[in-house]
């Protein structure tokens, strides 16, 4: 580099250093300041890397937004790679203009076509226990059917238990009555034996 450019850069770093010290109140060297700015730059680049972030909305902190504007980039660079971003109203960028120019006319014609895409629903696998009735039901209808069957089964179990309790009570009543009859018979027999012996 030319000596004049190097001197201007040094003056710029010194001016930034003074502003930083004045703003934060912390002492810092030019080397530390350069490292801090490089770390900030790599952090913002990592967060806004299109290949790493995919098609997600990029959320930046306030200082990162300012830093991104200083680096002359978009706030959400995801749209740079979307071919139709000009049509949806996003700000155009130089990368997007180049991308739109490189798109072949065939792909534009395909995008402009108003053909209706027919969506095929995947065929359900018929389970072994599935009947004709359940094969065409939706998930919510199947759940309702299962709940109704469980309710019916519970009611049958309650009725069965009530019948068993009733039968047990009847058999207990019969056995108590039979015990009374046999005890009366026994006492009568003892009385008769006693009378005969006298």
Mean pLDDT of 107-119: 48
Please report whether residue 133 resides in a domain: no
Task: Using the predicted structure, report yes or no on whether residue 74 has a pLDDT greater than 90.
Answer: no
Question: Mean pLDDT highest for which of 3-7, 164-168, 172-176, 185-189?
Answer: 164-168
**pLDDT band, residue 123 (cuts 50/70/90):** low
pTM of the predicted structure, to 2 decimals: 0.34
For residue 96, with 0-12 CB atoms within 10 Å meaning exposed, 13-18 middle and 19 or more buried, which class applies?
Answer: buried
Please report whether residue 153 resides in a domain: yes
Mean pLDDT of 50-57: 71
Please report whether residue 9 resides in a domain: no
Please report whether residue 28 resides in a domain: no
Please report whether residue 76 resides in a domain: no
Please report whether residue 178 resides in a domain: yes
Domain that holds residue 167: 138-197
Q: Could you give the number of structural domains in the chain?
A: 1
Question: Phi and psi dihedrals of 75, rounded to 5?
Answer: -65, -40
Please report whether residue 29 resides in a domain: no
C-beta separation of 52 from 46 below 8 A: yes
């Amino acid at each position: 580099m030319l000596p004049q450019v190097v001197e201007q850069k040094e003056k710029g770093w010194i001016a930034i250093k003074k502003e930083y010290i004045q703003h934060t109140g912390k002492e810092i060297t030019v080397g530390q300041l350069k490292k801090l700015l490089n770390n900030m730059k790599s952090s913002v680049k990592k967060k806004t890397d299109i290949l790493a972030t995919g098609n997600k909305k990029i959320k930046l902190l306030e200082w990162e937004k300012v830093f991104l504007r200083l680096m002359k980039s978009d706030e959400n660079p995801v749209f740079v790679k979307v071919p139709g971003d000009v049509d949806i109203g996003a700000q155009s960028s130089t990368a997007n203009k180049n991308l739109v120019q490189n798109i072949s006319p065939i792909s534009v014609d395909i995008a402009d076509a108003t053909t209706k895409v027919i969506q095929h629903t995947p065929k359900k696998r018929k389970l072994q226990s599935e009947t004709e009735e359940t094969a065409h039901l939706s998930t919510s209808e199947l759940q309702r059917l299962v709940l109704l069957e469980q309710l019916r089964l519970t009611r049958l179990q309650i009725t069965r238990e009530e019948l068993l309790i009733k039968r047990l009570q009847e058999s207990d009543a019969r056995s108590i009555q039979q015990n009374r009859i046999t005890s009366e018979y026994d006492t009568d027999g003892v009385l008769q034996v006693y009378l005969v012996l006298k």
